[in-house]
Amino acid sequence: MCGIVGAIAHRPVSPILLEGLRRLEYRGYDSAGLAVLDPDGKIGRLRTLGKVAQLSTAHDERPLAGTLGIAHTRWATHGEPSTQNAHPHMARQRCALVHNGIIENHEPLRREQMAAGHVFSSQTDTEVVVHAIHDALAAGHELAEAVRHTIARLDGAYALGVIDTHYPDRLVAARQGSPLVIGVGFQEYFIASDVFALLPVTNRFIFLEEGDVAELRRDRLSIWNAQGERVERPLRESSVAADSAERGQYRHFMQKEIFEQPRAVADTLEGRLSNEGVLPEAFGVDAERIFAAAQAVTIVACGTSFHAGLVARYWIEALVGLPCNVEVASEYRYRQHVVPKDSLFVTLSQSGETADTLAALRIAKESGYATTLAICNVPESSLVRESDLVLLTRAGPEIGVASTKAFTTQLVALLLLTLTLARLHRTSIGDQADAARQTALLRSLPAQLERVLALDDEVAALAEQFVEKHHCLFLGRGEAYPIAMEGALKLKEISYIHAEAYPAGELKHGPLALIDEDMPVVVVAPNNALLEKLKSNLEEVRARGGQLYVFADDQVPFQADPGVTIIRVPETDDLIDPLVFTIPLQLLAYHVAVLKGTDVDQPRNLAKSVTVE
C-alpha cells in the first residue's frame, strides 16, 4: 500500500505532487511527505504525521520550489506512523527515495550498512534502499545503474522513485511486485501508484512491468527490463475523466459509491447481454471453448471480493453442477493444494493489485490450471495483465476503503459467468426459455437497486439503535450467509463495532451463548426455500432476549414485535437476492459510522489497495 508520486517538468512540481498524493490517499494515510530538488541543487524535504491535508498546510507555510520531485503517502508496515518514518527517506543529503512495498531482507542489509558507517534515522524497511543507492552512486554508478545495482540485492516488493542532487535532469523509477505507472506529458514525465493520481496532468500512460527500471528526463524516457535490456512499453490512453474520483454532492465517497450502484451494475451488463442470454464473446474469443471443457472452478480472493466468491459457489454448484472451491488468497498461496482436472481458476479483485491474490494467480498458473480468469475493476492492473481471460467490472473508481459498488458489480460478473457455464454445460437453467427470463431479470437489476436505495432514510433511523453497541451478529442461510458476512465486514471496518456473521443454523453450536439484550442480531431473510429453517433459528434468538433486526422480503410473513424490527426489502427473484440484500447492509454500516463520527472513507489502520502481504 502507500502511494507514490513523482514529477520531472518545466513547471513547479509541488502542486502536482500534493494533488497526486490527495488522490492516492486511499492507499494509506498515516503520514505523508515530499522532496523537491530546489534551484540551488539541494533537496528540500517536508514530512508530516497524519493526512495529506496536514502536509499541504505545512507546505503553505514552507513551500518547496523546484521542477523535480517525489512524494509519498504512507500505510505503516515497519515502524510506527511518525514523521521520522514518513517518506521520502534520504541518504547524506544527496539522494531521496519513496517506496511502496516491503523489503523482506532489510535486517541483514541494515546490519551491513550500519557496520559500514551509515546512520539510520527511521525504523522502516525502506531506509536500507536509499543507503544502498547512495553507496552505488558513491562507487561511480549513474543514477539508473545505481538503482539497478541496488534492486538486484533486494528481496520483496517495491515500487521506487529516486532523485539525486548530482543528476538534476532525471527521476529514476523501478517496480517489482508493487504497481507503478508513468504519465507522459509534453516535455514532462510523471510516476504514480495509479493513473488517478495523474489524471489532472495527463491521460497518457505507460505501465511498467515486473523488474523494469525507468529513467525519466524532461525530453526522453528510457526503460530497461529485469534482464537490463532496453525495452519499449506500450503507451495507452486512459478514458477515465479527471473528476471521476471526486465526491460531488455526497458527504463521503462511500455514500456516493453506494448510490452509484444502479449505474455501475448497468455499465457492467452493457454489451454483454442479448435477448437470448449472455453474449458468447463476453469473456473473450476463446472463452466458450474453455468454459465448455471446464470440470471444476476454483475462486480465490480477499476481503469483500472473497465474499462475492462465496456467493458464486452457491450459484455455480446449484445452477451449473460443477464443483466450486472458494478460498482466501492468503491461505491458498501457502498451502499444498490439489488442482482438479480441467479446472478454471478465477480471481476476484477490485484493485487487481492485491498482493495475496496476485501471488495466488501466479502459483495457479504454475500448478496446472487449464485457464485463469480475472474479474477485476481496474483494466490496467497486474491481475488483468497476467490472466488468460478477463471480465472487467465497470464500477468506475472506488475510493472509499469500504468496498461497495465493486462488490455488487463482481456479483453481476459472477452471474454472467454462472449463466454462461450453465448454457455451455446444458443444465436446465441454461436452456433458451430460461435464458430470456434471466436476461430480463438482469436488465431489471438497476431499477431494483434504485428501489432498495429508497430505504436510505429508514435505515438511517435504524442506525441510531446500533451506535452504542459494542458487538453485533449477522445471520443468513444459503446465499444470504456470505451477504451477512459482507454486512458484518462493512460494519466492523468503518464503525469499529465488533461484528461477526454466522450461518443461522450454526447458532446453536456456540454463538447462541452470546445472545442477550445488548446483542443486536441482524438477519438477512429473503423469501426462499430456507425461510422456514431461518424462522426457527430466529425463535432461538428471541427466546433468549436477543434484539432482532430482520431485513426481509416484502412477502415474508414476519411480524414486528417488541425485540423484533422488520425492514421490508422490495420483493425480487432468488437469483438476484444477494445483490438486493447487500444494499441495506451497506447503508446500515454507513449510517452507524456517520453517527459514530468515524472516518468513513479512510477508517483507521486500513488502506484501500493492499499491495503488501
Name the residues that contact ligand M6R, by CB under 6 A.
302-305, 349-351, 354, 357, 401-403, 489, 493, 610
| Residue 376: active-site member | no
Closest residue by Cα to residue 422 from 282, 294, 572, 574: 294
In the bound state with ligand M6R, the residue whose beta carbon lies nearer, of 36 and 355, is 355
CA gyration radius for the chain? 26
Nearer to ligand M6R, 26 or 189 (CB): 26
Which CB, 322 or 416, lies closer to ligand M6R?
416
- Assign 104 to helix, strand or coil: coil
Shortest separation between residue 582's beta carbon and ligand M6R, angstroms:
12
Q: Which of 49, 86, 100, 85 has the alpha carbon at shortest distance from 607?
A: 100
In angstroms, what is the minimal distance from the CB of 234 to ligand M6R?
24
Q: Which of these is catalytic: 2, 95, 324, 472?
A: 2
Q: How many CA atoms, within 13 angstroms, populate the side-chain half-sphere of residue 361?
A: 29
Q: Which of 51, 405, 490, 608 is catalytic?
A: 608
Residue 48 or residue 409: which is nearer to ligand M6R going by CB?
409
Count how many Cα atoms sit within 13 Å of the Cα of residue 594 in the half-sphere of its side chain.
18
Residue whose Cβ sits closest to ligand M6R: 303
Nearer to ligand M6R, 91 or 359 (CB): 359
Q: Is the dihedral of CA 582, 585, 591, 592 positive or negative?
A: negative
Listed as own residue / partner, the contacts of 237-240 with beta carbons closer than 8 Å and 24 or more positions apart are 237/203, 237/204, 237/205, 238/195, 238/199, 238/203, 238/204, 238/205, 238/380, 239/203, 240/195, 240/196, 240/199, 240/203, 240/396, 240/397
Kindly state the smallest distance separating residue 600's Cβ from ligand M6R, in Å: 12
* Residues contacting 409, CB < 8 A, separation 6+: 261, 264, 265, 267, 268, 377, 393, 394, 395
Name the nearest CA neighbour of 444 among 290, 341, 571, 541.
Answer: 571
Q: How, if at all, do strands 471-476 and 498-503 pair?
A: parallel
CB of 349 to ligand M6R, least distance (A): 3
CB 208, CB 177: distance < 8 Å:
no
CB of 304 to ligand M6R, least distance (A): 3
The sheet carrying 89-91 orders its strands as 89-91, 95-103, 156-164, 171-176, 213-217, 220-224, 230-231
Question: Active-site residue 256, yes or no?
Answer: no
Least Cβ distance, residue 493 to ligand M6R (angstroms): 6
C-alpha to C-alpha distance for 285 and 483, rounded to whole angstroms: 33
CB-wise, 349 or 572, nearer to ligand M6R?
A: 349
Catalytic annotation, residues: 2, 608
